[in-house]
Chain A
Amino acid sequence: MRFRLSAEPIAPAPLAAALRDPRAGACATFEGWVRVRNEGRDVTALAYEAYGPLAEKEGDRIIEEARTKFGFIAAVCVHRTGMLQPGDLAIWVGVAAEHRGAAFAACRYIVDQVKGRVPIWKQEHYAGGATGWINSAGAGAAGPPPPG
């Protein structure tokens, strides 16, 4: 029932298995994958970096908020750090609840809030060697502008 960071590849099957509960009638899961194309540029790799102690505190708070808002039986969220390739799993969220409405809603809430609040950053690496920190663009060190 918590948020954690992982420097190793995420294995969804054991995470989903750990959510199993005879009271649960629904399990919603979300997988966020590294996309090869972002805002018109070819991405060769994504480097994820986290401020560990605060990321885990804030992630746990988000899961607790989701429990208060929607109610669920069990939930977990794992976020990768380190260098990822296109197609790699970057974030996995799973929520088991009595009914599907709460499972979907809590799963969505956790993903959205993690993206917006948890101190994790990603740096895109582009074909040709340039790099850029997502959301810090326009800050003067985000590599050359996209073509066109």
Chain B
Amino acid sequence: MKTIQVQYFAILREQRGRSTETCATEADTAAELYAELKARHGFSLPAERLRVALNDEFAPWNARLREGDTLVFIPPVAGG
């Protein structure tokens, strides 16, 4: 079991109803944790439409999670 800080933005923040949460999880990768959270909170976006940031840098979905990591699932961007 490890503790991961998850930050939410935009549509995910709205669907989760908060900006951050601390997750105690057995997930080894960002992909596993998203699947877990999507099932729990009913996020509408499939993983294919998101990117991952681990500790404020882009990371692959199979990046290994470590105790205390900060994770962001990035919805489709829309700046400009």
A-side residues, CB < 8 A to B, are 32, 48-51, 53-54, 57-58, 79, 90-91, 111, 114-123, 133-136, 139-142
Contact = CB atoms under 8 A, between A and B. Distances in A.
A132 to B, nearest CB: 9
Contacts of B44: 139-141
A72 B39 CA distance: 48
Interface in B26-48: 44-45
A137 B74 CA distance: 15
Given A136-B11, A139-B44, A141-B15, A51 B53 contact: yes
A141 B9 contact: no
A20 to B, nearest CB: 26
A135 B58 contact: no
Given A120-B78, A135-B78, 7 more contacts: A51-B7, A51-B74, A118-B77, A121-B9, A121-B10, A133-B75, A136-B76
28 contacts: A32-B80, A49-B9, A51-B9, A51-B74, A54-B56, A54-B57, A57-B56, A91-B79, A115-B77, A119-B9, A119-B53, A119-B77, A120-B78, A121-B77, A121-B79, A122-B79, A123-B10, A133-B75, A133-B78, A134-B78, A135-B76, A136-B45, A136-B76, A136-B78, A139-B44, A139-B45, A141-B11, A142-B11
A122 B74 contact: no
Contacts of A49: 9-10, 13
B72 interface: yes
Nearest to B15: A141
